[in-house]
Chain A
Amino acid sequence: MKLSALQQSYLGRRSNSLRSSGPLDSSSDGAFKSPAAVFWLVLHGLSCLISLLLGFRFSRLVFLLLSTSSTYTSPFHSPTELAKTLDIRSVIPADPVGNVPLPFPNKTATNSRVVVGRHGIRIRPWPHPNPVEVMKAHRIIERVQTEQRLQFGVKDPRKIIVVTPTYVRTFQSLHLTGVMHSLMLVPYDLVWIVVEAGGVSNETASLIAKSGLRTIHVGFNQRMPNSWDGRHKLETKMRLRGLRIVREKKLDGIVIFADDSNMHSMELFDEIQNVKWFGAVSVGILASSANIDETVVEKRGEEENPRMPVQGPACNVSNMLAGWHTFNTLPFAGKTAVYIDDRATVLPRKLEWSGFILNSSLLWKDGDKPEWMKDIDTLDGDIESPLDLVKDPSVVEPLGSCGRRVLLWWLRVEARADSKFPPRWIIDPPLEITVPSKRTPWPDTPPELPSHEKPVIRIQEPIIKHTTKTRTSRSKRRSKRKHDETRTDRGTTGFDKTLQN
Chain B
Amino acid sequence: MRKWFWGFLFIAFGFVCSIAAERNPRTERISGSAGDVLEDDPVGRLKVYVYELPSKYNKKILQKDPRCLSHMFAAEIYMHRFLLSSPVRTLNPEEADWFYTPIYATCDLTPTGLPLPFKSPRMVRSAIQLISSSWPYWNRTEGADHFFVVPHDFGACFHYQEEKAIERGILPILQRATLVQTFGQRNHVCLNEGSITIPPYAPPQKMQARQIPLDTPRSIFVYFRGLFYDVNNDPEGGYYARGARAAVWENFKNNPLFDISTEHPTTYYEDMQRAIFCLCPLGWAPWSPRLVEAVVFGCIPVIIADDIVLPFADAIPWEEIGVFVAEEDVPKLDTILTSIPPEVILRKQRLLANPSMKRAMLFPQPALPGDAFHQILNGLARKLPHQKSIYLKPGEKILNWTAGPVGDLKPW
A113-B187 in contact (CB<8A): yes
Please tell me which stretch of A139-147, A164-172, A326-334 contacts chain B, meaning at least 4 of its Cβ atoms lie within 8 angstroms of it.
A139-147
List residues of chain B with CB within 8 A of the CB of A151: 25-26, 214
| In the complex, A112 has a CB within 8 A of chain B | yes
Taken together as a complex, chains A and B put the C-alpha atoms of A21 and B185 apart, in Å, by: 27
| In the complex, B226 has a CB within 8 A of chain A | no
List residues of chain B with CB within 8 A of the CB of A139: 342
| In the complex, A230 has a CB within 8 A of chain B | no
B214-A123 in contact (CB<8A): no
Convert B86-125 into 0s and 1s, putting 1 for each residue whose CB lies closer than 8 angstroms to a CB of A: 0000000000000000000000001010101010000000
| In the complex, B174 has a CB within 8 A of chain A | no
A15-B239 in contact (CB<8A): no
Q: B69 to chain A: closest CB distance in Å? A: 22
List residues of chain B with CB within 8 A of the CB of A137: 221, 257, 334, 337-338
Q: Which of A107, A119, A121 contacts B250 (CB 8 A)?
A: A121
Convert A116-135 into 0s and 1s, putting 1 for each residue whose CB lies closer than 8 angstroms to a CB of B: 11111111100111100110
Please tell me which stretch of A23-31, A358-366, A455-463 contacts chain B, meaning at least 4 of its Cβ atoms lie within 8 angstroms of it.
A23-31
List residues of chain B with CB within 8 A of the CB of A110: 187-189
Within 8 A of B (CB), among A43-101: 76, 79, 81-82, 89, 92, 101
A129-B166 in contact (CB<8A): no
| In the complex, A136 has a CB within 8 A of chain B | yes
| In the complex, B349 has a CB within 8 A of chain A | yes
A133-B334 in contact (CB<8A): yes
Scoring B26, B251, B256, B328 by chain A CB atoms within 10 A of each residue's CB, the highest score goes to B251
List residues of chain A with CB within 8 A of the CB of B338: 133-134, 136-137, 140
Q: A279 to chain B: closest CB distance in Å? A: 21
Q: B296 to chain A: closest CB distance in Å? A: 17
CB within 8 Å for A141 and B219 given contacts A123-B251, A133-B335, A136-B338: yes
| In the complex, B405 has a CB within 8 A of chain A | yes
List residues of chain A with CB within 8 A of the CB of B349: 144, 147
List residues of chain B with CB within 8 A of the CB of A92: 238
Closest to A106 in B: B167
B250-A123 in contact (CB<8A): yes
| In the complex, B395 has a CB within 8 A of chain A | no
List residues of chain A with CB within 8 A of the CB of B339: 136
| In the complex, A305 has a CB within 8 A of chain B | no
Convert B170-204 into 0s and 1s, putting 1 for each residue whose CB lies closer than 8 angstroms to a CB of A: 00000000000000011111000000000000000
Taken together as a complex, chains A and B put the C-alpha atoms of A103 and B157 apart, in Å, by: 15
CB within 8 Å for A111 and B346 given contacts A119-B238, A148-B217: no
Closest to A110 in B: B189
| In the complex, B161 has a CB within 8 A of chain A | yes
Convert B5-16 into 0s and 1s, putting 1 for each residue whose CB lies closer than 8 angstroms to a CB of A: 000000000000
| In the complex, B237 has a CB within 8 A of chain A | yes
List residues of chain B with CB within 8 A of the CB of A471: none
B246-A127 in contact (CB<8A): no
Interface size for B (C-beta < 8 A) is 69
Q: Which of A103, A121, A152 contacts B214 (CB 8 A)?
A: A152
List residues of chain B with CB within 8 A of the CB of A134: 256-257, 338
Taken together as a complex, chains A and B put the C-alpha atoms of A133 and B337 apart, in Å, by: 9
Convert B197-224 into 0s and 1s, putting 1 for each residue whose CB lies closer than 8 angstroms to a CB of A: 0000000000000000111011101000
Q: A306 to chain B: closest CB distance in Å? A: 31
| In the complex, B276 has a CB within 8 A of chain A | yes
| In the complex, A378 has a CB within 8 A of chain B | no
CB within 8 Å for A82 and B236 given contacts A121-B246, A122-B243: yes
B235-A121 in contact (CB<8A): no
B160-A121 in contact (CB<8A): no
Taken together as a complex, chains A and B put the C-alpha atoms of A79 and B331 apart, in Å, by: 13
| In the complex, B307 has a CB within 8 A of chain A | yes
Taken together as a complex, chains A and B put the C-alpha atoms of A24 and B159 apart, in Å, by: 13
| In the complex, B232 has a CB within 8 A of chain A | yes
B332-A104 in contact (CB<8A): no
B25-A128 in contact (CB<8A): no
| In the complex, A370 has a CB within 8 A of chain B | no
Taken together as a complex, chains A and B put the C-alpha atoms of A28 and B221 apart, in Å, by: 48
A21-B116 in contact (CB<8A): yes
A107-B163 in contact (CB<8A): no
Q: Which of A24, A112, A120 contacts B243 (CB 8 A)?
A: A120
| In the complex, B234 has a CB within 8 A of chain A | yes
List residues of chain B with CB within 8 A of the CB of A124: 251, 331-332
B118-A130 in contact (CB<8A): no
Chain A interface residue count: which class?
35 or more
| In the complex, A19 has a CB within 8 A of chain B | yes
List residues of chain A with CB within 8 A of the CB of B405: 28-29
List residues of chain A with CB within 8 A of the CB of B164: 8, 25
List residues of chain A with CB within 8 A of the CB of B167: 104, 107
| In the complex, B330 has a CB within 8 A of chain A | yes
Inter-chain CB contacts under 8 Å: number: 176
B250-A114 in contact (CB<8A): no
Q: Which of A20, A24, A104, A140 contacts B342 (CB 8 A)?
A: A140
A15-B217 in contact (CB<8A): no
Q: Which of A25, A120, A145 contacts B219 (CB 8 A)?
A: A145
B237-A81 in contact (CB<8A): yes
Taken together as a complex, chains A and B put the C-alpha atoms of A140 and B348 apart, in Å, by: 13
B161-A11 in contact (CB<8A): yes
| In the complex, A206 has a CB within 8 A of chain B | no
CB within 8 Å for A11 and B163 given contacts A18-B232, A29-B405, A133-B334: yes
Q: B369 to chain A: closest CB distance in Å? A: 25
List residues of chain B with CB within 8 A of the CB of A349: none
Convert B23-42 into 0s and 1s, putting 1 for each residue whose CB lies closer than 8 angstroms to a CB of A: 00110000000000000000
Taken together as a complex, chains A and B put the C-alpha atoms of A34 and B134 apart, in Å, by: 46
| In the complex, B407 has a CB within 8 A of chain A | yes
Within 8 A of B (CB), among A1-37: 7-8, 11, 14-15, 17-21, 24-25, 28-29
A143-B188 in contact (CB<8A): no
List residues of chain B with CB within 8 A of the CB of A89: 238
| In the complex, A423 has a CB within 8 A of chain B | no
CB within 8 Å for A82 and B237 given contacts A103-B166, A107-B166: yes
| In the complex, A149 has a CB within 8 A of chain B | yes
Closest to B235 in A: A82
Convert B337-366 into 0s and 1s, putting 1 for each residue whose CB lies closer than 8 angstroms to a CB of A: 111101001100100000000000000000
B237-A144 in contact (CB<8A): no
Closest to A270 in B: B215
Taken together as a complex, chains A and B put the C-alpha atoms of A169 and B114 apart, in Å, by: 72
List residues of chain B with CB within 8 A of the CB of A112: 185-189, 307
| In the complex, B254 has a CB within 8 A of chain A | yes
| In the complex, B85 has a CB within 8 A of chain A | no
Taken together as a complex, chains A and B put the C-alpha atoms of A172 and B276 apart, in Å, by: 42
Within 8 A of A (CB), among B299-339: 306-307, 327-328, 330-332, 334-335, 337-339
Q: A113-B306, A123-B250, A148-B214 are in contact. List 12 more A-B contacts (CB 8 A).
A: A76-B331, A81-B237, A82-B235, A116-B163, A118-B238, A122-B328, A123-B331, A129-B254, A129-B257, A134-B338, A140-B338, A141-B221
- What residues of chain B have their CB less than 8 Å away from a CB belonging to chain A? 25-26, 110, 112, 114, 116, 118, 160-164, 166-167, 169, 185-189, 213-215, 217-219, 221, 229, 232-239, 242-243, 246-247, 250-257, 276, 306-307, 327-328, 330-332, 334-335, 337-340, 342, 345-346, 349, 405-407
The 4 A-B pairs of least Cβ separation, nearest first, read A152-B215, A124-B331, A119-B243, A136-B338
14 A-B pairs with C-beta separation under 8 A: A7-B163, A18-B233, A101-B239, A107-B166, A113-B307, A114-B188, A118-B238, A123-B250, A128-B255, A133-B338, A143-B342, A143-B345, A144-B217, A149-B217
- What residues of chain A have their CB less than 8 Å away from a CB belonging to chain B? 7-8, 11, 14-15, 17-21, 24-25, 28-29, 76, 79, 81-82, 89, 92, 101, 103-104, 107, 110-124, 127-130, 133-134, 136-137, 139-141, 143-145, 147-149, 151-153
